[in-house]
């Protein structure tokens, strides 16, 4: 979620330099780059972070970033995001990155 310069929520294209917010409206950082799978954010010092490529947990096993489609359940390697969902044919923008344990 982000806000425009007037502070109102907006459904617009994200751009580097914009502030990034969590679900509670708290600023978590500034968008550094837009990637094929999402955004890279420079986080503020008090924000807890983890690696999305591989996030080992103490008691939780390990987490891996995958691409997923909520409608049909298709998942796969996030490094190879297809133009269309291989399972149901939906556009690539219907796929999202998901941290899987």
Which tens digits make up the pLDDT trace of 10-47? 556 778 888 888 888 888 888 888 777 677 888 887 77
Is residue 40 domain-shared with residue 84, that is, in the same domain?
Answer: no
Do 59 and 43 belong to one domain?
no
In whole angstroms, give the CA distance from residue 65 to residue 45: 24
**Sign of the alpha-carbon torsion through 7, 8, 14, 20:** positive
Residues 39 and 59 in one domain: no
Claim to verify: residue 41 and residue 61 sit in the same structural domain: no
**Is residue 72 located within the same domain as residue 29?**
no
pLDDT tens for each residue of 42-86 = 888 777 765 555 454 544 555 667 777 778 888 887 777 778 888
Domain identity same for 39 and 1: yes
Tell me the pTM: 0.40
Report the domain count for the chain: 2
| Range(s) of the domain holding residue 82 | 54-100
């Amino acid at each position: 979620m982000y806000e425009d310069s007037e502070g109102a929520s907006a459904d617009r294209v994200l751009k580097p330099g914009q502030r990034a917010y969590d679900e509670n409206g708290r600023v978590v950082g500034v968008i550094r780059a837009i990637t094929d799978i999402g955004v890279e954010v420079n986080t503020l010092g008090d924000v807890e972070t983890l690696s999305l490529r591989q996030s080992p947990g103490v008691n939780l096993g390990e987490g891996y970033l995958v691409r997923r489609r909520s409608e049909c359940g298709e998942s796969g390697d996030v490094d190879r995001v297809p133009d269309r969902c291989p399972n149901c044919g939906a556009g690539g923008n219907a796929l999202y990155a998901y941290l899987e344990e």
